[in-house]
């Protein structure tokens, strides 16, 4: 369960941020030994750090560092970091007075970063504040194993009520998702986009035992809350400035990049649903070509033809 509201964890996260800010890779096992916790606890701290908007990368097994361009130096914070600070401040208020004051002071110093930005954030930027008011309630319910009743507005413009077991908040492509299970079907995991939750009720009298290893659950599910039963191998040919993007971001499971002499790259990876890769293909057309499988190439062709038909 999320432990961001835990005092020791908060202090540890702040200390790790400070250590990483010198730009050197840090060994995960050394961090665990320094703070007297397990490697698994440090991995959860990494997840909390990324939720705060500080992206991490792992240059080799067992090592961690800030992603390129990430720093705690005084500078304008990004929209993602602003979202993370909101969450951080909410949970800081649940701590002991002295630590709460220290955490809120830290958040304030981030917000009052220098004027005259070094890097000007361009579009897209997160605009919706829907769901922010429920974050504290969700973390509390997940922490103590309480059920939630939500009114959810789906992508198909349908409103429906659900009783769920909340597990964790996930961040992907600019949106926050709630990983959970239906109350009467605990084995079926699914996600709800936070900004689509229109009403939320905390059911204190309905309790469940939170999963012991939330990090493994998060890794084994995608943003649809589905634990893939099988994967499809894909191969893409990527050129021009799109190649730089795919070189620098891990977007898919088991992603591998093969450099070609002509400057193009060949990307191999595994996906559980075409929806995982289609947005990236359409985003970078005409710099991306599907090599395999044929069914994915056909899907891209069909969608484009349907779009062109409606546009004429």
What was the pLDDT predicted at 284?
Answer: 92
Average confidence (pLDDT) over 269-286? 89
User: Does the pTM exceed 0.85?
Assistant: no
Cα gap 129→197, rounded to integer Å: 11
Residue 116, phi-psi category: left (phi > 0), alpha (psi -120 to 50), beta (remainder):
left
Higher pLDDT, 225 or 147: 147
Cα gap 165→183, rounded to integer Å: 6
Cα gap 165→184, rounded to integer Å: 9
| Residue 95: band (very low, low, confident or very high) from pLDDT cuts 50, 70, 90 | low
Between the ranges 64-78, 126-140, 261-275, where is the mean pLDDT highest?
A: 261-275
Between the ranges 44-48, 116-120, 246-250, 301-305, where is the mean pLDDT highest?
A: 301-305
Is-contact 130 191, C-beta < 8 A? no
The H or E element that residue 241 is part of is helix 240-248
What is each CA distance from 75 to 111, 118, 119, 274, in whole angstroms?
A: 9, 7, 8, 38
Domains by residue range for the chain, with CATH? 7-111 (1.10.10.10), 132-219 (2.30.30.520), 232-311 (3.30.70)
What was the pLDDT predicted at 222?
Answer: 58
Average confidence (pLDDT) over 231-256? 90
Going edge to edge, which strands form the sheet with 185-193? 185-193, 175-182, 159-172, 146-153, 197-207
Is pLDDT above 70 for 236? yes
What was the pLDDT predicted at 287?
Answer: 94
Higher pLDDT, 239 or 218: 239
Is-contact 183 199, C-beta < 8 A? no
Tokens 């090599």 label which residue? 291
Chain-centre distance for alpha carbon 47: 8
What was the pLDDT predicted at 4?
Answer: 40
What was the pLDDT predicted at 115?
Answer: 44
Higher pLDDT, 25 or 106: 25
**% of residues, the chain, pLDDT over 90:** 29
Average confidence (pLDDT) over 269-285? 89
What was the pLDDT predicted at 183?
Answer: 94
pLDDT in tens, 177-231: 888 889 999 888 888 988 889 999 999 999 998 777 666 666 655 555 555 567 8
What was the pLDDT predicted at 227?
Answer: 56
pLDDT in tens, 43-81: 888 888 887 778 889 888 899 998 877 776 655 555 556
The H or E element that residue 198 is part of is strand 197-207
What was the pLDDT predicted at 149?
Answer: 96
Across 32-46, 150-164, 202-216, least confident range: 202-216
């Amino acid at each position: 369960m999320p432990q961001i509201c835990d005092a020791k964890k908060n202090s540890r996260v702040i200390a790790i941020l400070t250590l990483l800010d010198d730009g050197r890779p840090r060994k995960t096992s050394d961090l665990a030994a320094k703070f007297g916790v397990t490697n698994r606890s440090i991995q959860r701290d990494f997840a909390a750090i990324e939720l705060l908007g500080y992206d991490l990368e792992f240059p080799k097994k067992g090592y961690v560092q800030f992603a390129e361009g990430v720093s705690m130096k005084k500078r304008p914070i990004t929209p993602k970091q602003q979202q993370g600070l909101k969450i951080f401040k909410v949970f800081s208020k649940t701590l002991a007075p002295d630590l709460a004051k220290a955490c809120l002071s830290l958040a304030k110093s981030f917000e009052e970063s220098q004027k005259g930005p070094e890097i000007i954030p361009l579009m897209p930027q997160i605009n919706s504040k829907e769901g922010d008011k429920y974050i504290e309630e969700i973390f509390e319910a997940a922490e103590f194993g309480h059920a939630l009743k939500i009114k959810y507005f789906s992508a198909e413009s349908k409103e429906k009520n659900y009783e769920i077991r909340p597990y964790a908040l996930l961040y992907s492509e600019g949106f926050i998702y709630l990983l959970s299970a239906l109350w009467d079907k605990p084995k079926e995991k699914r996600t709800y986009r936070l900004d689509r939750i229109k009403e939320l009720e905390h059911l204190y009298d309905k309790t469940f035992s939170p999963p012991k290893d939330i990090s493994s659950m998060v890794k084994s599910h995608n943003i649809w809350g589905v634990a893939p039963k099988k994967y499809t191998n894909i191969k893409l040919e990527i050129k021009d400035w799109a190649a730089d993007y795919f070189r620098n971001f891990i977007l898919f499971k088991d992603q591998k990049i093969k450099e070609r002499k002509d400057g193009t790259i060949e990307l191999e990876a595994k996906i559980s649903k075409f929806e995982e890769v289609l947005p990236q293909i359409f985003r970078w057309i005409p710099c991306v070509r599907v090599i395999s499988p044929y069914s994915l190439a056909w899907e891209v062709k069909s969608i484009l033809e349907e779009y062109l038909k409606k546009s004429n």
